[in-house]
Amino acid sequence: MSAESLLVILSGIPWTLAITAGAFTMGAILGIPLCAMRVSRSWLLRSMAIVIVLILRSVPPIVWLFLLYFGIGSGFFQVGPMQASIVALGLITGANLSEIYRGALKSIHPGQWEASHALNMPRWSVFIDIMVPQLVRVILPSATSYIIGLLKDSAIASTVGVTEIAFQANFISRRHFQGLEVFAVAGLFYILISLPVAAVARYSDGVLRAKVAR
Amino acid sequence: MANENGRPKVVERDEIVRALNVGKSFGTHKVLDGINLTVRSGEVLAIIGPSGSGKSTLLRCLNQLEPQTEGSITLAGITIDARKAATKKQLTDLRRSAGMVFQSFNLFPHLSVLQNISLPQQRVLGRPKAEADIRSRALLERVGLASKADHYPVRCSGGQQQRIAIARALALDPKIMLFDEPTSALDPELGLEVLAVMKELADGGMTMVVVTHEMHFAETVSNRVMIMADGRVLEEGPSQSIMRDPQTERAQRFLQAVKNR
Ligand SMILES: Nc1ncnc2c1ncn2[C@@H]1O[C@H](COP(=O)(O)OP(=O)(O)OP(=O)(O)O)[C@@H](O)[C@H]1O
Ligand SMILES: [Mg+2]
């Protein structure tokens, strides 16, 4: 394969990373209110959260993407391919992360809240000093493996013309009729990007979890 | 009556806790019914009784972890009446006077032993970290765990964790300490180290309310014993007379059952 082809595929990496990071950030933030609704005392909020999460998770990512890009994006709003990809994956990520957050909340022993209250700790401190550090330790391993999944899902952005890794690989393979090599290289890139993320996952799972294990 | 455990007999001293006609229901399930209770400064009250009789619930009402649904509770001068929602300030003032120790220790697992004791001092009392750490180390010394300061709670035995939890509560200078079965989750031997710390606290004049299954503690360390069953007070009075000579048939049955265990 020519150096030029390799460079073209390489040029897709920033887009792949941008979609992954953008969608994850959006989902990480969106997951917080969704999780808060899901565990709220209000019956209405809880049901709304259940329905939203169900809808977001049952529709395939590519359908969300087409809905945003060709559906909404071609009508009243102008939605670019990049925005549509980030928002589509971000919405789904939000739903999934809200469930991961909820699981983490449940994993915190109720005695932690009781002790904090009995000690009279201010509410902000209970959240920042006691809950967040424990939640992060529980969430980090699942969140990092979710990021790896998201990295691969970002390839669907190629269907609406975002020039990320899969798009460029497709482009090159059609131009030079060398599918096997090109897609093998693209696959290799995905693996290389996943490695550091997987390392973080392993580290967080081992070291951090050991600390909070009861 | 002579006081065999050598503690000065409590005569007229300030009341720290007064519960008047306290009731608590969870939905339709009535867990506490018409509880009256007074604890004076320096006194140690042991609460015993069969499982499910409402001992923990009563203790949790005293520091308002669970608000009572009937009656009023006064703790360190703060009165909270079931008919009127407590203000945030009332709750803060009340809880500041009451330290609590749980059956399951409830240390913060992600903080070192020292941080566990220092952080609440910094956040609740606004003590500077250096000052808080000095106090924490002194308390760790007192509970015999000075060497554990930089460990994490998981690295400590149950008995050590409970002593750390006691130090954490004491660091906030409470006027009264509430213990909910502090030794129930421990092997008997580890329970003894915790009981020794509690006895020393009692001897030092700390006011304590202790829910316990340790009959020896109830009889020898506490000044008074209260026996509960089905959400009511069966009997209450000086430790030895209650433990050796209960009046009601239900209390006799309970004490018989525990002694034969
Ligand atoms: N949050 C709650 N919601 C509903 N019911 C509760 C709650 N907490 C306690 N109860 C009920 O109240 C009753 C008294 O419970 P409590 O824990 O006070 O008993 P206890 O005397 O401490 O028992 P044990 O010796 O087993 O600790 C029990 O029937 C229990 O099921
Ligand atoms: Mg109990």
Tell which atom from ligand 1 comes closest to the C-alpha of B59: 18
* pLDDT at A53 exceeding the cut of 60: yes
The answer to whether the Cβ–Cβ distance between A118 and B110 falls below 8 Å is: no
- HEC readout, chain B: CCCCCCCCCCCCCCEEEEEEEEEEEECCEEEEEEEEEEEECCCEEEEECCCCCCHHHHHHHHCCCCCCCEEEEEECCEEEECCCCCCHHHHHHHHHHEEEECCCCCCCCCCCHHHHHHHHHHHHHCCCHHHHHHHHHHHHHHCCCHHHCCCCHHHCCHHHHHHHHHHHHHCCCCCEEEEECCCCCCCHHHHHHHHHHHHHHHHCCCEEEEECCCHHHHHHCCCEEEEEECCEEEEEEEHHHHHHCCCCHHHHHHHHHHHCC
Measured CA to CA, the distance from residue B39 to residue B192 in angstroms comes to 25
Q: Answer with the residue of higher pLDDT: A212 or B87.
A: B87
The answer to whether the Cβ–Cβ distance between B123 and A212 falls below 8 Å is: no
CB A94 within 8 A of CB A101: no
CATH topology of domain B15-259: Rossmann fold (3.40.50)
B222-243 pLDDT per residue, tens: 999 999 999 999 999 999 999 9
Per-residue pLDDT, B2: 43
* pLDDT at A45 exceeding the cut of 50: yes
Q: In a mutagenesis test of the B interface, which of A119, A139, A208, A211 is the best target, namely the one with the most B β-carbons within 10 Å?
A: A119
Measured CA to CA, the distance from residue A138 to residue A102 in angstroms comes to 11
A133-158 pLDDT per residue, tens: 999 888 988 899 899 999 999 999 99
* pLDDT at B62 exceeding the cut of 70: yes
B4-38 pLDDT per residue, tens: 455 555 445 688 999 999 999 999 999 999 999 99
* pLDDT at A1 exceeding the cut of 80: no
Report how far ligand 1's centroid is from the alpha carbon of B51 (Å).
Answer: 8
Report how far ligand 2's centroid is from the alpha carbon of B158 (Å).
Answer: 18
* pLDDT above 70 coverage of chain B, percent: 95
Mean of pLDDT over chain B: 91
Report how far ligand 2's centroid is from the alpha carbon of B17 (Å).
Answer: 20
Question: Ligand 1: which residues within 6 Å by Cβ?
Answer: B 26, 29, 31, 49, 51-57
Q: In what order do the strands lie in the sheet with B70-75?
A: B29-40, B15-26, B70-75, B78-81
* pLDDT at A78 exceeding the cut of 50: yes
Measured CA to CA, the distance from residue B85 to residue B106 in angstroms comes to 28
Query: Considering every ligand atom, which ligand is closest to the CA of B179?
Result: 2
Q: Which long-range contacts (CB under 8 A, 24 or more apart) does A152-159 make?
A: A152/A190, A153/A61, A153/A89, A154/A16, A154/A19, A154/A20, A154/A23, A154/A85, A154/A89, A155/A16, A156/A61, A156/A62, A156/A65, A156/A85, A156/A89, A157/A15, A157/A19, A157/A65, A157/A81, A157/A82, A157/A85, A159/A62, A159/A65, A159/A66
Per-residue pLDDT, A102: 95
Computed on alpha carbons and rounded to an integer, the radius of gyration of chain A in Å comes to 21
Contacts of B123 in chain A (CB under 8 A): 121-122, 125, 129
Tell which atom from ligand 1 comes closest to the C-alpha of B54: 18
Residue B220 CB-density burial (10 A; 0-12 exposed, 13-18 middle, 19+ buried) = middle
The answer to whether the Cβ–Cβ distance between B92 and A120 falls below 8 Å is: yes
pLDDT band for position A214 (cuts 50, 70, 90)? very low
CA B240 to chain centre: 20
pLDDT band for position B199 (cuts 50, 70, 90)? very high
| A90-99, A176-185, B4-13: least confidently modelled range | B4-13
| A82-86, B116-120, B254-258: least confidently modelled range | B254-258
The answer to whether the Cβ–Cβ distance between B110 and A211 falls below 8 Å is: yes
Enumerate residues 6+ apart whose C-beta is below 8 A from A56: A64, A91, A92, A94, A95
Per-residue pLDDT, B78: 93
Per-residue pLDDT, A161: 86
Contacts of A112 in chain B (CB under 8 A): 106, 108
pLDDT band for position A210 (cuts 50, 70, 90)? low
Extents of the domains making up chain B: 15-259
* Rounded alpha-carbon distances, angstroms, from residue B195 to A102, B42, B203, B255: 38, 17, 12, 20
**CATH code linked to domain A3-212:** 1.10.3720.10
| A202-206, B96-100, B192-196: least confidently modelled range | A202-206
Tokens 């720290």 correspond to B16
Instruction: Tokens for A83, please give them.
Output: 């925005």
Interchain CB contact of A212 with B (< 8 Å): yes
A6-33 pLDDT per residue, tens: 888 889 999 999 999 999 999 999 999 9
* pLDDT at B1 exceeding the cut of 70: no
The answer to whether the Cβ–Cβ distance between A118 and B120 falls below 8 Å is: no
Region B168-191 average pLDDT: 93
CB A16 within 8 A of CB A151: yes
Instruction: Tokens for B242, please give them.
Output: 């209650």
Per-residue pLDDT, A208: 65
Measured CA to CA, the distance from residue B97 to residue A2 in angstroms comes to 76
Interchain CB contact of A211 with B (< 8 Å): yes
Query: Considering every ligand atom, which ligand is closest to the CA of B50?
Result: 1
Q: Phi and psi at residue B246, in whole multiples of 5°?
A: -65, 145
